[in-house]
Amino acid sequence: MVGSISFHNIRKIFPAQDEQHSDVEALSQISATINPGEFISLVGPSGSGKTTLLRILAGLETATSGTVTIDDHEIEKPSRKVGFVFQEATLYPWLTVYENIALGLRLNKEKERLPEVNDYIELVGLKGFEKAYPHNLSGGMQQRVNIARALINNPDVLLLDEPFGALDAFTRSKMQNDLIDIWQKRHITMVMVTHDVEEAVFLSNRIFAMTPRPAIIKDIIPVDLKRPRLRDAPEFIGIKEKVLHTLNF
């Protein structure tokens, strides 16, 4: 199986903008291995470097030191093997749902694969909305478009940065169920940043709990629960408490 991620001694220092400021050490010696097909959540305080770590895994940012490998290939720049879903809306308002999703392909000069766009529209539950424009979609639907666009190049790894952070609780839980559905159908490795510990327990095989900046991985909490998971089961609540306890240090 493909989609294994390994990062070793990742350190990230953002240099000071000017003399009044000092360098910012965002990540300090972070190492971990993620298995093919695993679902990992990154949780940690605001500003602890979760987005930075995700961007380094995607090749969107370079680490000050350390290495990232995906299936034994060192990541130094963005790759089609790695899809990324950003927290904020990243759709082009003047393009339809279909065109926004197809854009991922067009940028890669693969016009011949355009019919596949419809398969991805169906996968994320947007059938019938092909011709709609982003301003006519709810927040949840816009994130569905973002997920489809990230998946269209058939990546082995999907990285998601708080994709459901702006959604109401009801939409959020629907999106969580649908994301697990996609994860199970596509056998893809997913790494997701979230502030929501319940979301992390619901989705993940393992949860990486980060410390405040400069961040290290404080603990890795396994979630050995059958799916579909019941949020009010005592085992579920027990793991949630363990994660919260770890985050409170």
Summarize as ranges the residues that interact with Mg ion (CB under 5 A).
51
Residue 194 contacts ligand ATP per CB under 6 A: no
Cα-Cα-Cα-Cα dihedral sign, residues 198, 203, 207, 208: negative
Burial (Cβ within 10 Å: 0-12, 13-18, ≥19) of residue 101? buried
CB-based contact 157:175 (threshold 8 Å): no
Per CB under 6 A, does 142 bind ligand ATP? no
Beta-strand relationship, 189-193 and 24-34 = unpaired
Could you say whether residue 26 binds ligand ATP (CB under 6 A)? yes
Nearer to Mg ion, 89 or 103 (CB): 89
The Cα 216–Cα 224 span in angstroms is: 23
CB of 61 to ligand ATP, least distance (A): 8
Which of the listed partners (ligand ATP, Mg ion, none) does 20 bind, with a CB threshold of 5 to 8 Å by partner kind? Answer: none
Tokens 């011709």, located at residue: 131
- Name the one range near ligand ATP by CB under 6 A: 40-48, 119-127, 220-228, 233-241: 40-48
Q: Is 105 in the site for ligand ATP (CB under 6 A)?
A: no
Q: What are the tokens at 218?
A: 């404080």
- Out of 2, 13, 24, 216, the only residue in the binding site for ligand ATP (CB under 6 A) is 24
Binding test (CB under 6 A) with ligand ATP, winner from 1, 31, 47, 241: 47
Closest to ligand ATP by CB, 144 vs 213, is 213
Rounded Cα distance between 9 and 14, Å, is 16
CA distance 73 to 77: 11
Binding residues for ligand ATP, per CB under 6 A?
14, 24, 26, 44, 46-52, 213
